[in-house]
């Protein structure tokens, strides 16, 4: 039976970050990943000469002081080469009006939104004030969901007068904020908010917490920004793996955790590996899997109240993702790298297009990834014949929308395929192929969300279901919090500063 100090479950960005940070602190750590490669939803796959980003296609947090930049600097690895996205996205409301461009320059973005949504400046100024307060608060590494005295101390140390002011909006949604600012009648603005917020919070404006939505709406603007990585999204995982191994941590691929239970050493994990089933023990465990997985993995050692809470968590969405390749000359000359368009069938699409020479396709060709949210159960419970028929229908619908939207001739396609929640379940191991974390509704955001410190001593959570939510930058912060809590539990201080 193998024994280690800490086991980290799940080799996505959250798990890789947690394992790397602990190894940097000279903790004996083993990272278990069920897939043959790390990265999870921020990984890649290949089809011939083409490289496709599985899920995430843009990155936040690479700027000085950003979550990735702080972690990479602490780990002693180089920040991946990347270009700022300007615009961060081009949003087409499909109402015949000009698309909205999310410029990186704050002044240019201010002119854009005033032209697109006249009379809404008060709303945007309130969002900006909330964002600045939240960003300063987050930079002090608070524990937003305190569960003991140390957690509470970290929270209190991070509070400032402006934090208390913004906390008055804790129970409000973005739609409420729009109403308070006197622009609730602007349907075009609401449509824009619904499209953008769905990408980041999995909820429309009337169900997205104001404190969350106001922040993510500003992520494309300097001094922050959204970034396009050279090569592929896999470079993030590769750099974190190199840091883990540099600091003597262990990465075990194709190791799927089948069961978790208490033991005298702390925790015992039943693990399925290429060499068969084995038992591993650890003093402590950090789990980056969706918390919904724990009800089956931990049948005996979970308090009943905590189990009920996990069972009652709202169901996250799944995704349908189209992976295509076109001749670059077939694209519009001014085609941006990231686009979003309102659409009834199959739903609003978010599209990412590779750049010439960025490593995703040969020169003169472009990968084109289009995604749309979908309920998972609709796909995971179909018989094979119905599944394949429905999958083909959606692929054709997305391809047709892209041809119409971008003016593509059908002969321009060099490759086309579709991934469904069933495929994501196999790739990521997430139940029913769910993507992202919990929807950022006021009842589940921040202090009302799941805590990294669980009621099971020595068992921690990180990932996109915890504060501050999904995205590689968000899950990095959740991993940092889990590591700080774990080290404090051992009587050791730990900070990136």
Q: Peptide bond preceding 341: is omega within 30 degrees of 0, i.e. cis?
A: no
DSSP state of 453: B
Output the DSSP codes for 152-221: HHHHHHH--HHHHHHHTTTT-BHHHHHHHTT-TT-HHHHHHHHHHHHHHHSS-GGGSBHHHHHHHTTTTS
Report, as an integer, the average pLDDT of 62-77: 95
pTM, 2 dp:
0.95
Q: Which CATH architecture has domain 2-45+70-81+232-314+436-489?
A: 3-Layer(bba) Sandwich (3.50)
Q: Which residue ranges make up each domain of the chain? A: 2-45+70-81+232-314+436-489, 86-224, 318-433
Which pLDDT score, from 0 to 100, does residue 194 have?
97
Which pLDDT score, from 0 to 100, does residue 253 have?
97
Report, as an integer, the average pLDDT of 177-201: 95
Nearest partner of 372 among 338, 321, 433, 428, judged by Cα = 321
Which pLDDT score, from 0 to 100, does residue 437 have?
85
* Pair type for strands 318-327 and 365-374: antiparallel
What is the C-alpha to C-alpha distance for residues 246 and 59, in angstroms, rounded to an integer?
24
Whether 83 contacts 227, CB under 8 Å: yes
- Whether residue 2 has pLDDT greater than 80: no
Using 50, 70 and 90 to split pLDDT, how confident is the model at 495?
Answer: confident
- The CA-atom distances, in angstroms, between 493 and each of 65, 183, 196, 418, 497 are 20, 47, 38, 47, 12
56's tokens: 């995430």
Report, as an integer, the average pLDDT of 259-266: 96
Which pLDDT score, from 0 to 100, does residue 74 have?
96
Q: Peptide bond preceding 184: is omega within 30 degrees of 0, i.e. cis?
A: no
Which pLDDT score, from 0 to 100, does residue 429 have?
83
Percent of the chain topping pLDDT 70:
99
Which pLDDT score, from 0 to 100, does residue 55 have?
86
Which pLDDT score, from 0 to 100, does residue 436 have?
82
- Whether residue 476 has pLDDT greater than 80: yes
Report, as an integer, the average pLDDT of 491-495: 87
CA dihedral angle for residue 8, residue 9, residue 12, residue 15, rounded to 10 degrees: -20
Report, as an integer, the average pLDDT of 418-436: 88
What is the C-alpha to C-alpha distance for residues 196 and 1, in angstroms, rounded to an integer?
49
3-52 pLDDT, tens digit each: 679 999 999 999 999 999 999 999 999 999 999 999 998 999 999 999 99
- Whether residue 98 has pLDDT greater than 60: yes
456-471 pLDDT, tens digit each: 999 999 999 999 888 9
In this structure, how many other beta carbons lie within 10 angstroms of the beta carbon of residue 129? Answer: 14
Whether 459 contacts 287, CB under 8 Å: yes
CA dihedral angle for residue 142, residue 144, residue 146, residue 149, rounded to 10 degrees: 20
What is the C-alpha to C-alpha distance for residues 494 and 490, in angstroms, rounded to an integer?
11
DSSP state of 302: S
- The CA-atom distances, in angstroms, between 43 and each of 12, 40, 52, 201, 368 are 8, 5, 9, 21, 16
Using 50, 70 and 90 to split pLDDT, how confident is the model at 1?
Answer: low
Report, as an integer, the average pLDDT of 46-69: 94
Quick one: angle between helices 234-246 and 13-24, nearest 10? 20
110-125 pLDDT, tens digit each: 999 999 999 999 999 9
What is the C-alpha to C-alpha distance for residues 197 and 192, in angstroms, rounded to an integer?
8
What is the C-alpha to C-alpha distance for residues 205 and 196, in angstroms, rounded to an integer?
9
- Whether residue 84 has pLDDT greater than 60: yes
Which pLDDT score, from 0 to 100, does residue 47 have?
96
Whether 3 contacts 201, CB under 8 Å: no
CA dihedral angle for residue 393, residue 396, residue 400, residue 401, rounded to 10 degrees: 60
Which pLDDT score, from 0 to 100, does residue 446 have?
86
């Amino acid at each position: 039976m193998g024994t280690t100090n800490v086991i980290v479950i799940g080799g996505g960005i959250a798990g890789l970050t947690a394992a790397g940070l602990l190894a940097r602190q000279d903790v004996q750590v083993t990272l278990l990943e069920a897939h043959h490669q790390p990265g999870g939803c921020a990984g890649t796959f290949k089809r011939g000469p083409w490289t496709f980003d599985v899920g995430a296609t843009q990155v936040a947090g690479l700027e000085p002081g950003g979550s990735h930049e702080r972690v990479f600097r602490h780990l002693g690895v180089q920040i991946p080469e990347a270009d700022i996205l300007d615009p961060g996205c081009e949003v087409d409301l499909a109402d015949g009006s000009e698309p909205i461009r999310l410029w990186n320059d704050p002044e240019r973005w201010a002119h854009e939104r005033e032209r697109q949504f006249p009379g809404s400046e008060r709303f945007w100024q309130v969002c900006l004030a909330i964002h600045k307060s939240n960003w300063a608060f987050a930079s002090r590494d608070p524990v937003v969901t305190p569960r003991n005295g140390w957690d509470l101390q970290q929270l209190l140390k991070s509070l400032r007068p402006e934090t208390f002011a913004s906390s008055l909006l804790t129970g409000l949604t973005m739609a409420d904020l729009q109403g308070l600012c006197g622009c609730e009648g602007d349907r075009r603005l609401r449509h824009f908010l619904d499209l953008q917020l769905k990408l980041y919070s999995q909820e429309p404006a009337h169900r997205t917490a104001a404190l969350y939505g106001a922040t993510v709406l500003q992520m494309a603007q300097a001094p922050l920004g959204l970034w396009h990585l050279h090569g592929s999204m896999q470079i993030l995982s590769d750099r974190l793996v190199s840091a883990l191994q540099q600091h003597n941590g262990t990465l075990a691929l194709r190791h799927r955790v089948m069961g978790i239970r208490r033991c005298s050493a702390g925790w015992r994990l039943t693990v399925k590996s290429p060499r068969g089933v084995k038992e591993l023990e650890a003093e402590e465990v950090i789990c980056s899997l969706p918390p919904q997985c724990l009800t089956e993995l931990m049948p005996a050692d979970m308090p009943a109240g905590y189990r009920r809470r996990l069972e009652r968590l709202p169901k996250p969405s799944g995704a349908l993702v189209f992976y295509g390749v076109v001749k670059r000359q077939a694209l519009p000359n001014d085609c941006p790298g990231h686009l979003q368009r309102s659409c009834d069938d199959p739903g609003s699409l978010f599209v990412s297009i590779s750049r010439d020479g960025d490593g995703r396709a040969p020169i003169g060709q472009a990968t084109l990834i289009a995604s749309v949210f979908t309920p998972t159960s609709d796909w995971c419970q179909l018989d094979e014949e119905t599944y394949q028929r429905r999958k083909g229908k959606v692929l054709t619908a997305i391809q047709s929308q892209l041809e119409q939207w971008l003016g593509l001739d059908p002969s321009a396609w060099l490759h086309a395929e579709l991934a469904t929640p069933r495929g994501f379940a196999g790739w990521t191991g997430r139940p029913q192929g769910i993507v992202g974390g919990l929807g950022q509704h006021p009842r589940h955001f921040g202090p009302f969300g799941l805590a990294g410190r669980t009621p099971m001593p020595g068992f921690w959570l990180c990932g996109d279901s915890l504060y501050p939510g999904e995205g590689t930058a968000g899950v990095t912060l959740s991993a940092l919090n889990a590591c700080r809590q774990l080290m404090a539990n051992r009587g050791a201080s730990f900070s990136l500063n």
